[in-house]
Chains A and B, each alone.
Chain A
Amino acid sequence: MSARERILAKLRKAQPELPQHLPSLDAHYAPRVRGESRQERLARFRTGIEGFHADVHISTAGNWPQVLATLCAEKNIQTLMYGAATPAAAQLEATAFGGTTLRPWAGQFEDLKADLFHRVDAGFTLARGAIAETGSLILWPSGDEPRTLSLIPPIHFVLLDAATVHPTFYDALVNENWAAGLPTNALLISGPSKTADIQQTLAYGAHGPKELIVIVINVEGGTV
């Protein structure tokens, strides 16, 4: 018998005849639903993620590339890497970036590894959505926007559409039926990387990005 068979046999021998009732998650979450507007949800998201040391800039569908270009200039970013095949890429490429070189991801990770670790100052990705309750971004990296874009460069810029902010993580994964098909890697990101492993003293920029900057497309143009 293999280890697998032995472990499963031991567990089967002891397994209760009837499983416990499937817990009702709705019974917990339904009474906690907030009747909040999109702007209120966005405000909650913003308060949450700013509490985790991320910067948030509210912009519009037309103006966000300009906001990004200005931020890149302020932060003296030499090279910004982004995914080439996204709708946002076309908008980026049509914008004047001054001293910042726009570099689309091209090829496999192995071709870009050394550059990502040593020569790319910032990565730019889209967010699939966000979570108001905790101030979290949802990212589903893909071939167009690989995982390491949001991990290795010291600064991570994220573009978020305000219409995609969910009240809770539970709402996001149930309403979008994530269980029907997850990508290789799905992520929640709440702020730049950090640690409190030395004497409970919080320090930012542990192993991932040192800065997380969120640019929000707010179609309703409301103030947040």
Chain B
Amino acid sequence: MSSPAQQSAGKPVAFVSAQALRARMHDAVNDPHLRQSFRGAMDFLMAKRAAQFPDQGELDSLRSLSESIRQYSLSKLPDLLEQLEANLTRNGVQVHWAETPEEANAIMLGIAQRHAARLIVKGKSMVSEEIEFNHAMEAAGVGALESDMGEYIVQLAGEKPSHIIMPAIHQTKQQIAKLFAEHIPGVDYTDNVDALIQIGRRVLREKFEVADIGLSGVNFAVAETGTLCLVENEGNGRMCTTVPKVHIAITGIEKVVEKLEHVAPLFSILTRSATGQAVSTYFNMISGPRRGEDKDGPEEVHLVLLDNGRSQAYADEQLRKTLQCIRCGACMNHCPVYTRIGGHAYGTTYPGPIGKIISPHMMGLEQTHLLPTASSLCGACGEVCPVKIPIPELLIRLRGEANSAPHANPAMVGQGAAYDPKISLLWKLWARLYARPATYRAFTWLATRFRALTPTQQSGWTAARTPLKPASRRLRDMVKDRR
């Protein structure tokens, strides 16, 4: 089933077929090493977050404030984007707009080619993963090198990040030791973590020194001052945004806030929710290229604002809450499904609960309608979300969008992708039987009398369970007897 809207939206960057998704999840669940890695890492991250919020009242107040700042910002989004653009331009930053990943890559490739760039060093950016930036640059002969230690490891291994904050969380130090020994000339096997980090430092410092362009993401963009804020621990973000002659930042259009003071609570709840740190090592506020008396910093700074389905989420009041996200990863750290299958099984750039609610807007429900069903709706994600995104409600909404009959003016590309007329008819019948006392009484009377005729093969239910069979007597009959 392919709607015209889906076709006109172009080919999705990644493809999550239902079959492949089920197979990957099955493999992941049956991999004890993977499960042990994720279980250990998630327990660690949950404990660290909990230690940052000893006072429930403080947490509640900060979450409410953060939610209201994000909702306020979104309610003024087009105005704030124009204000941001005006102030960045005044500060000497060049602002670009891209509707699709292809447009974003073309803009950045254009900048790279104008500077005859051979090497781009990258700070951590999930948006750059979302648009497959590295592949697009390499296809055009421009090197793109990850410099966040986790991203560097994942790139060496030819993989994608399995967590939005800790990209190499699925790798053991022994695997990383082997990877370094195989891929970095002159490096012998060592699984000493300090030694491995020093190897990474040495290799990447050489690259910071010679790179033509530095790329980064953005955690918050401040409209009133024209400032790009970056949260990091390693210093590679500062290297990428300071040392090369050109800095390109890329971000989704939802990351803007109006006032500089709005970043104070958001920054605090971000680091505490993400890695359980009171604060990250660096908070980097960039308001322009080298100017006036400045002696260092890039000569050019660019910002690419990417839509890629975000405006679709924005158009619906409920789905808009998806865009409140500040990408802390707490929802995946607390998700029983993510903990058991890891990040790769999802097959999308953003894994876990946030991935299930944002990916359908980026890729369409045709490709992603199974993702919202990979949840027990336990509610842990919604409870820990620092900006109170009602993730379980949104999962139910997306299931509804996927399974309802295709109709005109759908809220989403791929609406009705999982619609099955037979199942729909079955539910309609069920609703009729159960909504009227007379038909319900008749149905249960028949069901108890003819229970021997219940089929033993009950589709998905009996794949791992004994068949359902009505009881021999109805509850109403048993109650009647007791009177």
A residues contacting B by CB (< 8 A) are 2-4, 6-8, 10-16, 18-23, 25, 28, 32, 48, 52, 105, 107-109, 113-114, 117, 131, 133-136, 142-144, 146-148, 151-152, 168-170, 173-174, 178-179, 182-201, 203, 205-209
Contacts and interface: CB of A to CB of B under 8 A. Distances in A.
B260 interface: yes
B297 interface: yes
A22 B82 contact: no
Among A20, A179, A199, max chain B CB count under 10 A is at A199
B317 to A, nearest CB: 8
B150 A179 contact: no
Given A184-B286, A184-B291, A208-B282, A25 B261 contact: yes
Given A25-B264, A170-B265, A207 B235 contact: yes
B234 A195 contact: yes
B307 interface: yes
B294 A208 contact: no
Contacts of A8: 78, 81-82
B385 to A, nearest CB: 17
B77 interface: yes
A6 B103 CA distance: 13
B232 to A, nearest CB: 9
Interface of B: 40-41, 44-45, 58, 61-62, 65, 68-69, 71-72, 75-78, 81-82, 97-99, 103, 147-150, 153, 166-169, 171-173, 176, 193-194, 196-198, 200-201, 204-205, 208-209, 224-225, 227, 233-236, 238-239, 242-243, 253, 259-262, 264-265, 267-268, 275, 278-297, 305, 307, 311, 314-317, 320
Contacts of A199: 171-173, 193
A179 B260 contact: yes
Given A20-B72, A147-B297, A205-B201, A188 B99 contact: no
A207 B316 CA distance: 42
B315 A14 contact: yes
A8 B78 CA distance: 6
B250 to A, nearest CB: 14
B235 A108 contact: no
B225 A179 contact: yes
28 contacts: A7-B99, A7-B307, A10-B311, A13-B315, A15-B78, A18-B75, A23-B68, A107-B295, A108-B295, A134-B278, A135-B278, A147-B242, A169-B268, A179-B259, A182-B260, A184-B290, A185-B284, A185-B286, A190-B279, A197-B153, A198-B149, A198-B171, A206-B149, A206-B235, A207-B201, A207-B208, A207-B238, A208-B281
A192 B234 CA distance: 9
B209 A113 contact: yes
Contacts of A135: 278-279
A207 B287 CA distance: 22
B294 A142 contact: yes
Contacts of A2: 97
A188 B235 CA distance: 12
Given A28-B61, A201-B173, A207-B201, A19 B296 contact: no
A185 B167 contact: no
Contacts of A32: 58
Contacts of A208: 234-235, 238-239, 281-282
Contacts of A21: 68, 72
Nearest to A145: B295
Contacts of A15: 75-78
A70 to B, nearest CB: 26
A16 to B, nearest CB: 5
A198 B173 contact: yes
A173 B320 CA distance: 30
Contacts of A200: 40-41, 44-45, 166, 169
Contact of B261 (A117, A143, A173, A197): A173
A108 B299 CA distance: 12
Given A136-B283, A200-B169, 6 more contacts: A146-B297, A182-B227, A184-B289, A197-B148, A206-B235, A207-B239
B261 A188 contact: no
A206 B287 contact: no
A111 B58 CA distance: 50
Contacts of B286: 184-185
Task: List the 6 closest A-B pairs by CB distance, nearest first.
Answer: A208-B235, A143-B293, A109-B296, A197-B150, A193-B235, A206-B234
B296 A108 contact: yes
B281 A3 contact: no
B75 A170 contact: no
Contact of A25 (B65, B149, B208): B65
Contact of A173 (B61, B193, B238, B264): B264
Contacts of A209: 235
A25 B260 contact: no
B314 A14 contact: yes
B297 A198 contact: no
Contacts of B314: 10-11, 14
Contacts of A179: 224-225, 259-261
Contacts of B315: 10, 13-14
Contacts of A168: 264
Nearest to B48: A200
A142 B238 contact: no
Contacts of A151: 235, 238-239, 242
A196 B166 contact: yes
A148 to B, nearest CB: 5
Nearest to B197: A203
A113 B211 CA distance: 13
A14 B316 CA distance: 7
A19 B148 contact: no
Contacts of B209: 113-114, 117
A109 B148 CA distance: 24
Nearest to A32: B58
Contact of A194 (B224, B234, B320): B234
A152 B224 CA distance: 31
B303 to A, nearest CB: 12
A105 B295 contact: yes
B278 A20 contact: no
A11 B65 CA distance: 24
